Structure 1
């Protein structure tokens, strides 16, 4: 149940548009239980990895500490 435990401490979950449907539904379910926001990234997993500055694919991403960034404030419906 590591997925559920990580969602408990996250502030926001980003999911790429080509994330497998089963994984996407699991993430959305656990996010709903732990009251964490979910944002569907408008790009594939390669684009999300590049946006993070990584050289590998990222299909889902949990933001634990946003730091000085405005990523959570910039999304509609997020506080």
Structure 2
């Protein structure tokens, strides 16, 4: 269920803003990893510079739990900023998409 980013940074920013207002996001590896293991996460977003050891762990957890994984070509500093935080975020977990349709945008790519 791994997919490369087909979502433009502007579009991703819009979706993350909507999710932060109407849904629920978790930032950071540890909490995102736990959300995948407990099957609470609907989508994991990975920054382009996520450390390889963390990337492998989250990829395995997503595969085992059936959670879609979206790798974006955006560094962690910018990803944190896009999510509306003053710090970097290598991993973002979407718990509830709220009014965003980000899950529908990536759904067709899962079948590839």
State the TM-score, normalized to the length of structure 1: 0.88
Q: Structure 1: any 5+ residue segments left out of the alignment? A: none
Which is richer in helix? 2
Alignment pair present for 1:6 and 2:35: yes
What corresponds to 2:65 in structure 1? 34
Secondary structure, counterpart of 1:69 in structure 2: coil
Which contiguous aligned blocks of 4+ residues in structure 1 show a shift greater than 4 angstroms? 1-4
CA RMSD across the alignment: 2.1
Change (3 A) 1:44 1:9: same
Q: Structure 2: any 5+ residue segments left out of the alignment? A: 1-29
Paired with 1:37 and 1:3, the residues of 2 have a C-alpha distance of 13
- Deviation of the 1:36 alpha carbon: 0.2
The one of the two structures with greater contact order (alpha-carbon pairs below 8 A, sep at least 6) is 2
What corresponds to 1:61 in structure 2? 92
State the TM-score, normalized to the length of structure 2: 0.64
